[in-house]
Structure 1
Amino acid sequence: MFYPKNFPKKLEKDLVILLLYIQNKTKTELTSKNLVQYIHQYLKTSNKTIFNGSVPSYWWLQFILYRHKKKFSADFVDLIRPLLTKTKTRSLSGIIPLSLFTKGVGCPFNCAYCPNEPGIPKSYLSDEPAVMRALRHKFDPFKQTQSRLIMFCLSNHPLDKVEIIIKGGTFSFYSKQYRIRFMKRIFHACNTNIQNLIMTGNNQKEKSLDFNEEQKQNEKALSRIIGINIETRPDYINQSELRYLRKLGITHVEIGVQALDNDIYTLIRRGHTIQSVINATQQLKDAGFKVGYHLMLNLPGSDTHKDFVLLKKAFENDLFKPDHLKLYPTAITPFTDISKWYKEGIYKPYSLSEMIKTIIAFKKNVVPEWTRIGRLTRDITTTMMENKQFPPNLRELIQKEMSAENIACKCIRCREIKDTQIQGKIKMRIIKYQASGGIEYFLEYVDEENHSLGFLRLRIPSYITNKKIKPMFSVLKNASIVRELHVYGQSTEIGSKTKKNIQHKSLGEKLLKKAEKITQKQGLTKIV
């Protein structure tokens, strides 16, 4: 019989009785305040010391509602479920992001800043939350994926649109045999009926199919994978690798750029040059991938001025211009050469206040509306930092200071509509820009407060304007490429008839129709 890890089986009957008590107290409405009051009333009147007199974990209650569904009225379940959602922001971008880790070294290089903790994928540390989850499941991709889907379900999130985020170092370094088995296990987990598993407790595993069959089956599964994100090095990108990534279903590639400066690359023993970044960026975009950069601040050989100049270079030079950015301040952690350099006085990082000023200047003066800043720091705890040069809540500190100075970041993440109301009329706007030898069209729906409701990235590839270059795939011949289409707002289940959520206002369909018109004007015969 299946039970989620950390669920207190001994309290199952008490939790059922508690929910029945709340149901009897509930008439036509239930609020968060009422819910907590009813729980405390039950604990007081029943003279029970269960839950140590505290409110039990809400996911326990969600589990009971699934496992003992027949004991509760449908109206009561509809009232209480939304109140048990404690991490609503997880699905406010329209999907649920599911992170998991590959096992092993993950990279043959030895960059000076990169931790190499024994038993942990290179560049990561054992106290990072996602790493701890992976360790619990011994890096098994099926178990990692299934356990996260279960917890998302018990947090009341729709499971039908899943973005897989694979971490663990240079994905392209792993053997093809390991990678295809890893991906097959992910698809197999997403093809599992998670709600049925929770309700019945039947943990009998379905027979695993081969990779192609699992991938095909997922097209109609209850948890459809709508995007797969991997991280790799720019010098590992070539046509052969891109063909294999496409076979695996990869849609988003994050490359470790770190700093667009060859002198810094030499100093930190990066092992590639800026030209590798240029080549990888163009090949990825021309093959239809969404491109993310990892950039680092405060590396050896840099300072605040150089960091700002290099950030500008990434977004103003046509050879680069990533769609997505993760900005990582250099952390001095164990298992790195930078740690040794710091102790010897060779490496002297600049201060937190200087870092915040640099990032704010970047957000204010450089960040374009067509990029998304996913992160401003790593999930590294201060206990792992040998010099606590920045806190885990760095993003909050930056936002607070920007708010005080009335500065707004224009990146997509900062403008997402999330669960706020649309302000005034909505309109489609188009930003056209040159990038990596091709032409990019960023089509976006915004309201009068510049909230992003949804967008589409359309690329006219470099081989359309430069006949010396040939498309990597025959299907791309004489075609424009939709590299990304995303409609924001609370994730809504496929097939839902509700009109309240932004995801069901046909914005995606309208963006595609506009992309088709642009494609026709370019003299191209199709859009892929």
Structure 2
Amino acid sequence: MKTRIIPIFVPHRGCPHDCIFCNQKKITGVGTDITEEEVKNIIESYLKTIDKNCHIEIAFFGGSFTAIDIEIQKNLLSIAKEYVDKGLVKDIRLSTRPDCINKNILNILKENKVTIIELGVQSMDLKVLDNSIRGHSDLDVVKSSKLIKEYGFKLGLQMMAGLPSDTEEKCIYTAKRFIDLKPDFVRIYPTLVVKDTGLEKLYNEKKYNPFNLEETIQIVKKLLVLFYLNSIKVIRVGLQATEDIALGRDVICGPYHPSLRELIESRIYRDYIEILIKDKNIKEKIIIYVNKKNISKIVGNKKANIEYLREKYKINLKIQERILNLDEIYFNYNNNEYKTNIKEIYNKLYNIYKF
């Protein structure tokens, strides 16, 4: 069953800190507080266009929802709850800060049929948190995550790669700490320099440089392998493209790409093919058979993988569609056909990548 999200943006409302990377008006495209009437209008508008057979969720995004005045929380949630009670919506989710969770808040969320809570963690490294003016510690993350799970909510954790003083090692450390907390899913956001933020000021003063696109690919591919092998879904990589979120508009610089996840997954396939070429001493040609939905990932953006392998190894790479499961893949080389799957590929790369 397909899942459809009805997004309700509450930009910066209730947030007790002005984090160095954050300008929610730019990121969400919404600049004013939202009213109960507007929430109802948004839900009604979306429901008119969504197939009733879909799994429908109402999601409060963009701010620290549980830092809002309690009465406002109740009022906004009560609107969403009406649609759950009517059977029109299955889940209510919201995002908030790790230091804005306690038993009283969780009881209120339970009463109002909230089922999914996402924590904007960003990093588990104390120096990165401090330099990003997050205002919470790693212990806040551990405490709130455990409490959320104890209350029976689904837990999502969000991390950012490339914050001030961040490194590949710190990103991997954060991922491993996430894995220990056993979230139901994670999101990975490479850090972008957005207009009107503290990060823009640091960048202009030459005190901060974001990860570039290649660094981001090299780091996040390892995070995807770690999360996959620990059965944790990564439901998003990178900010969703909007009219504002694009280089040269409100994003000044940083590893922005509208298809960032596909770039990274494509690199994972390329890394594996390189290993195969070396291990099996493959010459001249490889034919790869995959589900048609995976063809673009193996070909690479603008045929990048095909060109790379041709130039480096003089290998002619051909990709053909075959009726296979999404995670199945066949390699034909040196008159042999070799079957594998995504899990085996990721396991192989886990032993190659440095963690």
TM-score (normalizing by structure 2): 0.70
User: 2:281 matched to 1:399?
Assistant: no
User: 2:18 matched to 1:163?
Assistant: no
Work out whether residues 36 and 75 of structure 2, in 8 Å CA contact, stay in contact via their aligned partners in 1.
no
Kindly report structure 1 stretches of 4+ aligned residues shifted beyond 6 Å: 134-139, 448-451
TM-fit CA distance, 1:114: 1.0
Work out whether residues 66 and 105 of structure 2, in 8 Å CA contact, stay in contact via their aligned partners in 1.
yes
Number of the residue aligned with 2:297: none
TM-fit CA distance, 1:292: 0.7
User: 2:276 matched to 1:368?
Assistant: no
TM-fit CA distance, 1:313: 3.0
Number of the residue aligned with 1:113: 21
The 1-side partners of 2:222 and 2:151 are apart by: 33
TM-fit CA distance, 1:135: 9.4
Number of the residue aligned with 2:118: 254
1:140 is paired with a residue whose SS is: helix
The AA in structure 2 aligned to 1:96 is: R
C-alpha offsets along residues 31-75 of structure 1, whole Å, 9 cap, x if unaligned?
Answer: xxxxxxxxxxxxxxxxxxxxxxxxxxxxxxxxxxxxxxxxxxxxx
Number of the residue aligned with 1:146: 44
Number of the residue aligned with 1:270: 134
1:378 is paired with a residue whose SS is: coil
1:499-510 matches, cutoff 5 A: none
Q: Give the direction of change, closer, same or farther, for the CA distance of 1:391–1:450 in structure 2 (3 Å limit).
A: closer
- Runs of 5+ unmatched residues, structure 2: 274-292, 295-321, 326-339, 344-355
Q: Give the direction of change, closer, same or farther, for the CA distance of 1:373–1:336 in structure 2 (3 Å limit).
A: same
1:253 is paired with a residue whose SS is: strand
Aligned with residue 26 of structure 2, among 125, 134, 152:
125
Aligned with residue 350 of structure 1, among 192, 211, 222:
211
The 1-side partners of 2:341 and 2:250 are apart by: 40
Number of the residue aligned with 1:95: 3
The 1-side partners of 2:58 and 2:73 are apart by: 14
Q: Give the direction of change, closer, same or farther, for the CA distance of 1:384–1:240 in structure 2 (3 Å limit).
A: same
Q: Give the direction of change, closer, same or farther, for the CA distance of 1:422–1:288 in structure 2 (3 Å limit).
A: farther
The 2-side partners of 1:185 and 1:299 are apart by: 36
The AA in structure 2 aligned to 1:107 is: C
TM-fit CA distance, 1:354: 1.1
The 2-side partners of 1:135 and 1:106 are apart by: 10
The 2-side partners of 1:405 and 1:260 are apart by: 28
Work out whether residues 60 and 94 of structure 2, in 8 Å CA contact, stay in contact via their aligned partners in 1.
yes
2:160 is paired with a residue whose SS is: strand
Number of the residue aligned with 2:252: 386
Q: Give the direction of change, closer, same or farther, for the CA distance of 1:161–1:387 in structure 2 (3 Å limit).
A: closer
Work out whether residues 13 and 33 of structure 2, in 8 Å CA contact, stay in contact via their aligned partners in 1.
no
Q: Give the direction of change, closer, same or farther, for the CA distance of 1:173–1:142 in structure 2 (3 Å limit).
A: same
The 2-side partners of 1:150 and 1:337 are apart by: 40
TM-fit CA distance, 1:165: 1.3
TM-fit CA distance, 1:346: 0.6
The 1-side partners of 2:231 and 2:255 are apart by: 30
TM-fit CA distance, 1:287: 0.8
Q: Give the direction of change, closer, same or farther, for the CA distance of 1:323–1:271 in structure 2 (3 Å limit).
A: same
Q: Give the direction of change, closer, same or farther, for the CA distance of 1:126–1:137 in structure 2 (3 Å limit).
A: farther
The 1-side partners of 2:21 and 2:94 are apart by: 20
The AA in structure 1 aligned to 2:76 is: F
TM-fit CA distance, 1:450: 7.6
Work out whether residues 137 and 144 of structure 1, in 8 Å CA contact, stay in contact via their aligned partners in 2.
no
1:81-480 matches, cutoff 5 A: 93-102=1-10, 105-115=13-23, 123-125=24-26, 128=29, 131=30, 140-152=38-50, 157-159=51-53, 161-188=55-82, 190=83, 216=85, 218=86, 221=87, 223=88, 225-315=89-179, 318=180, 320-379=181-240, 380-382=245-247, 383-406=249-272
TM-fit CA distance, 1:185: 2.5
Q: Give the direction of change, closer, same or farther, for the CA distance of 1:394–1:147 in structure 2 (3 Å limit).
A: same
C-alpha offsets along residues 205-232 of structure 1, whole Å, 9 cap, x if unaligned?
Answer: xxxxxxxxxx54x1xx4x2x22111111
Work out whether residues 120 and 159 of structure 2, in 8 Å CA contact, stay in contact via their aligned partners in 1.
yes
Q: Give the direction of change, closer, same or farther, for the CA distance of 1:273–1:187 in structure 2 (3 Å limit).
A: closer
Root mean square deviation, CA, Å: 3.1
Work out whether residues 20 and 197 of structure 2, in 8 Å CA contact, stay in contact via their aligned partners in 1.
yes
The 2-side partners of 1:241 and 1:141 are apart by: 21
TM-score (normalizing by structure 1): 0.48
The 1-side partners of 2:144 and 2:271 are apart by: 38
- Runs of 5+ unmatched residues, structure 1: 1-92, 116-122, 191-214, 408-413, 424-447, 452-528
C-alpha offsets along residues 311-337 of structure 1, whole Å, 9 cap, x if unaligned?
Answer: 23322xx3x232210101111001210
TM-fit CA distance, 1:180: 2.2
The AA in structure 2 aligned to 1:241 is: I
1:386 is paired with a residue whose SS is: strand
The AA in structure 1 aligned to 2:80 is: I
C-alpha offsets along residues 326-381 of structure 1, whole Å, 9 cap, x if unaligned?
Answer: 10111100121000000101112232101101111222345335211111111232
Work out whether residues 123 and 160 of structure 2, in 8 Å CA contact, stay in contact via their aligned partners in 1.
yes
TM-fit CA distance, 1:125: 1.8
The 1-side partners of 2:28 and 2:98 are apart by: 28
C-alpha offsets along residues 276-296 of structure 1, whole Å, 9 cap, x if unaligned?
Answer: 111111111111111111101
Of the structure 1 ranges 166-175 and 291-300, higher mean CA displacement relative to structure 2 is found in 166-175
